[in-house]
Amino acid sequence: MFCSLPYSLGKLHLKFLALEGNPLRTIRREIINKGTQEVLKYLQSKIKDDGPSQSNSVTETAMTLPSESRVSVHSIIALKILDFSDKQAAVIPDEVFDAVKSNTVTCVNFSKNQLCEIPKRIIELKEMVSDINLSFNKLSFISLELCMLQKLTFLDLRNNCLNCLPEEMESLIRLQTINLSFNRFKILPEVLYRIPTLETILISNNQVGSVDPQKMKTMENLMTLDLQNNDLLQIPPELGNCVNLRTLLLDGNPFRVPRAAILMKGTAAILEYLRDRIPT
């Protein structure tokens, strides 16, 4: 039985509304006795008088953001993730960075937008962020702000418009994984050879035509190198000296040797094959 009625009933186009026999507290009996139309008029008046105003319908808090730039506060606080992905946005709104406040954020996901440059305010996270995903954007250069995030260990830049990396990236002294797949690189960026902490380089589906095996041999932590679907006309035999490599992917390049049969045997077989071809 009803003790009260929602005022929103006043918005309905009812022809007959029977309420007798309910212990209603909000509608006097004399109004009920006047019939359906009077009851609806009464409810409509209460919507106007008691209902929340348009300006106060949303509780404003420090974390309230415009609908087009809303981020998950739960993700920030509980998961330490700043997620503004898949928005097709050309810029990252200031409200996104403002939402972090004093919380610690270790992961940033700005993927699947229309970014032509990395937001400068990313520098505000330099003391905390270790994982950044900027994939599926329109980046053609890397800003110096990104190069100052010295706690960065994982960087995803795939599916952008990059053809070079700044020399300043060598200051990323903790970087372990970088994904540069589906960009416009014609060589393996020189700066990567000077980041000794790198364990994984993914640079498939570019136009890379050469790698420097001597410089790569100095990368003692490099275990995975993905060069699939590039423009390598030959594989330097000296690459076989990179004995720390556990995964070397070369499919989809126009070289003739090693043959496909060798590639199918896996990384160890490829490296052994290459070492056997080093001139003595």
Q: What is the pLDDT of residues 58-82, one digit of tens each?
A: 333 333 344 445 788 889 999 999 9
pLDDT of residue 39: 65
Band of pLDDT at residue 18, cut at 50, 70 and 90 = low
Nearest Cα to 221, choosing from 270, 274, 168, 173?
Answer: 173
Query: What average pLDDT does range 128-157 have in this prediction?
Result: 97
Q: What is the pLDDT of residues 146-191, one digit of tens each?
A: 999 999 999 999 999 999 999 999 999 999 999 999 999 999 999 9
Which structure tokens are listed for 248?
Answer: 């070397």
Residues 6+ apart with CB under 8 A from 9: 17, 40, 43
Higher pLDDT, 269 or 61: 269
Mean pLDDT for all residues in the chain: 85
Which structure tokens are listed for 39?
Answer: 């009851």
Superfamily for the 73-276 domain = Ribonuclease Inhibitor (3.80.10.10)
Nearest Cα to 139, choosing from 176, 185, 81, 183?
Answer: 183
Percent of the chain residues past pLDDT 90, beyond the cut:
72
Phi, psi of 276 (to 5 degrees): -65, -20
- DSSP code string of 27-68: S-HHHHHT-HHHHHHHHHHHHHHHSPPGGGSS---TT---GG
Domain coordinates in residue numbering, the chain: 7-46, 73-276
Cis peptide before 23 (omega within 30 of 0): no
Q: How far apart are CA 80 and CA 128, in angstroms?
A: 10
Q: How many CA atoms lie within 13 A of 254 on its CB side?
A: 8
* Model confidence, pTM: 0.75
Please check the confidence at residue 13 and state whether its pLDDT lies above 70. no
Higher pLDDT, 39 or 123: 123
Please check the confidence at residue 192 and state whether its pLDDT lies above 80. yes
Start-to-end Cα distance in the chain: 96
Q: What is the pLDDT of residues 210-262, one digit of tens each?
A: 999 999 999 999 999 999 999 999 999 999 999 999 999 999 999 999 999 99
Q: How far apart are CA 183 and CA 214, in angstroms?
A: 25
* E strand map for the chain: 81-83, 107-109, 131-133, 154-156, 177-179, 200-202, 224-226, 247-249
